[in-house]
Amino acid sequence: MESIGNDIINPALMLAISRMKEHNNQDTQNKMVEEALNARFLVPCEMKFAPGTEHEQKRTPANTFPNINLIKTTEGKLYFMAFTDMGELKKWQDKDGQNVLIMSFDDVAGLALNPKSNTEGFVINPSTTNVVFQNQLIATILHNRDQAIKDGKMHVVSPKEMEIKRRKQETELS
């Protein structure tokens, strides 16, 4: 049986990150952000029983919730983690039965920007590429994207179009 998340790969994002790290300029940063906005990420979590349901034998959506893992900097700042693929997740923690949520940029951004989360943002692949999105940057990216859509300068891609684009990218980069 294939584990959840093994089909998540982000070759276009990884290429954009690599190019940005080689030549850090406005163009490579914009391309990396564009690819991050289109990516699906693995977000590690632990599944916990909802309070008062600990005695139940079986986990169900009604009695279970994800407790999303955070990473703490040496300064004590907390960040959510987002991984581009299972290999990157295992570089952080190679644990059998690791629970993950599959999330979009907007999903992870929503977690980070939630005032109750008490986090500074999120980091992509903290063990390797270590691309940090601070909350202020996340808010700016989302605002600029929403404004570009409103002004007709950006097209909202449907999930079906996105899947076709991903498959094409995976084929081209294989």
pLDDT digits (tens, 9 = 90+) for 59-82: 777 788 888 999 999 999 999 999
Q: Residues 6 or more apart from 77 whose CB is under 8 A from it? A: 119, 120
Contact between 124 and 133 (Cβ < 8 Å): yes
pLDDT digits (tens, 9 = 90+) for 17-28: 999 999 999 999
Reduced to 3 states, what is the DSSP secondary structure of residue 152?
coil
The CA distance from 33 to 24, in Å, is 13
| 3-class state of residue 23 by DSSP | coil
Task: Using the structure block, give the residue that is written with the tokens 């940090």.
Answer: 132
Average pLDDT, rounded, for the chain: 88
Q: What are phi and psi of 125, to 5 degrees?
A: 50, 65
- Is residue 2 scored above 50 in pLDDT? no
Top pLDDT among 174 and 21 is at 21
CB 112 within 8 A of CB 138: yes
Whole-number Å distance between alpha carbons of 129 and 111: 21
pLDDT at 9: 92
Residue 115 has pLDDT above 80, yes or no: yes
pTM assigned to the model: 0.82
pLDDT in tens, 85-106: 999 999 999 888 789 999 999 9
- In the predicted structure, residue 37 carries a pLDDT above the cut 80: yes
- 110, with CB counted inside 10 A (0-12, 13-18, 19+), is middle
Q: How confident is the model at residue 47 (pLDDT cuts 50, 70, 90)?
A: confident
pLDDT at 56 over 50: yes
